Structure 1
Amino acid sequence: MGVRDVIFYDFPDNRFDTVPLLDIVKSIEKVIRELKPEIIFTHYEKDLNINHQITYKAVLTATRPQPGNPVKKIDSCEVLSSTEWNYPLGFQPDTYFILSTEHIRKKVEALSCYESELRTYPHPRSVEGVEYLARLRGLQIGVEYAEGFKLVREIL
């Protein structure tokens, strides 16, 4: 997928609500200072998963538009079996990236590395679920496969 480095922090899984938000914000600010990203992809604000909700809030806090902050764009993404399960707060993408068959293959291959997260069909977080969502997002813009995002903020 082209990822060179992965940064981990020792936050409790599925218990971000037990960690002071400022601790999470400071971790994100540190990464921003080091990597100077112009674009950040984060979770959807109304995701069912508490870690995802808090990550979204921490990203917004860490990327307040102020002098010296390199972040010019924030997009939120959907996570199968987490975003769509928070009815009726559905994810409505407004930004799309066209995907090739090779992109889908790599995405499925990457998901397969997380055996503890992969489920069998008809679970949304199955290989078929990933493919079906990419086809649905593709149908929304007239291509075979796509990935949908929701623009949070863009500074031009």
Structure 2
Amino acid sequence: MKNILVVAAHPDDEILGLGGTIKKHVDDGDLVDCIILGEGMTSRGKNRKEVEQSSVDKLHNDTMKSAKIIGFRNVYFSKFPDNRFDSIDLLDIVKDIERHIEKIKPDIIYTHHYGDLNIDHKKTFDAVITACRPARDYCVKEIYCFETPSSTEWNLKYGTDTFKPNIFVDVKDTLKDKLDAMACYETELEEYPHPRSLEALKIIASRWGTVVGRKYVEAFELIRKVD
């Protein structure tokens, strides 16, 4: 049994990137917790106050419904301002993550890719790597980046910041759970061909499957592993 922590920037990222993989961990007996750093929703108005708190509360309720399907043990909401992580001192995000690491003591962390288009995703990666400094008696032995549809593929840069998966997880048996969990997110789900549609998520899993000869796959980039 392993302790696993998912560090996501927004509600639904924890499903979009790795819902099938997490369900597989849970089915194998691992304990999985999730931190969602951002409050979600509030970047959709001209300012944060334009978005009603009831809308944010509904989004978080959708998160908890989704979490039950996947099997997260706990979901923690840090409630940093949505799509405004660049307005916060990185140290504040780091300390929030460190607090959870000290409590959960995860063996494995999954988080966003450093090359994502979304600024919150980039800052999340930076904060995770900082919080997981391999100093003294550190617990985190493996760190993986996941792909976030509607962010990772929309950064059209070339070179070292592109998503370069080298770990592929067969999610044939858990893809339905991922799609059911994503369907809970009524305000985040889009119509095909948007990447956050159920049809697109199935196509993305199928596409990665063709890379390694499997039907449905979620792809990850290994950042660090210590045996």
Q: What's the TM-score, normalizing by structure 1?
A: 0.96
Is 1:17 paired with 2:89? no
Deviation at 1:146, TM superposition (A): 0.7
Give the secondary-structure state (helix, strand or coil) at the position aligned to 2:111: strand
Q: 1:126 deviation in Å?
A: 0.5
- Name the SS for the 2:79 alignment partner: coil
Q: Given the alignment of the two structures, is residue 7 of structure 1 paired with residue 71 of structure 2, yes or no?
A: no
> d(CA) in 2 for partners of 1:128 and 1:26?
38
Paired amino acid for 1:107: K
- Residue 178 of structure 2 corresponds to 107
Shift of 1:10: 2.2
Match among 123, 129, 143 for residue 54 of structure 1:
123
Partner of 2:166: 94
Segments of 5+ residues of structure 2 without an aligned counterpart are 1-69
Offset at residue 135 of structure 1 (A): 0.3
Q: 2:168 aligns to what SS in structure 1?
A: strand
Deviation at 1:112, TM superposition (A): 1.3
Measured in 2, the distance between the counterparts of 1:69 and 1:20 equals 24
Task: Give the Cα–Cα distance (whole angstroms) in 2 for the partners of residues 50 and 112 of structure 1.
Answer: 25
**Structure 1 residue 151 corresponds to structure 2 residue 222:** yes
- Secondary structure in structure 1 of the residue aligned to 2:116: coil
SS at match of 2:75: coil
**Alpha-carbon distance, 1:116 to partner:** 1.8
Within 5 Å, give how 1:67-82 maps onto structure 2.
67-82=136-151
Match of 2:47 in 1: none
3-state DSSP class of the match of 2:139? Answer: coil
2:77 is paired with a residue whose SS is coil
What are the Cα deviations for residues 32-66 of structure 1, in whole angstroms up to 9, with x where unaligned? 00000010000000001111000000000000011
Q: Is 1:133 equivalent to 2:171 in the alignment?
A: no
Structure 2 length as normaliser, TM-score?
A: 0.67
Distance 2:86 2:157 in 1: 23
Q: Secondary structure at the match of 2:199?
A: helix
* Residue matched to 2:190: 119
Shift of 1:86: 0.1
Residues of 2 paired with 1:117 and 1:79: CA distance? 13
Give the Cα–Cα distance (whole angstroms) in 2 for the partners of residues 19 and 116 of structure 1: 26
Report the secondary structure of 1:14's partner residue. Answer: coil
Please state whether the residue corresponding to 2:156 is helix, strand or coil: coil
| CA displacement at 1:125 relative to structure 2 | 1.0
The Cα shift of 1:127 comes to 0.4
The CA distance in 2 between the partners of 1:107 and 1:153, in whole Å, is: 26
The runs of 4+ residues in structure 1 deviating greater than 6 Å are: none
Q: Structure 1 residue 88: deviation in Å?
A: 2.8
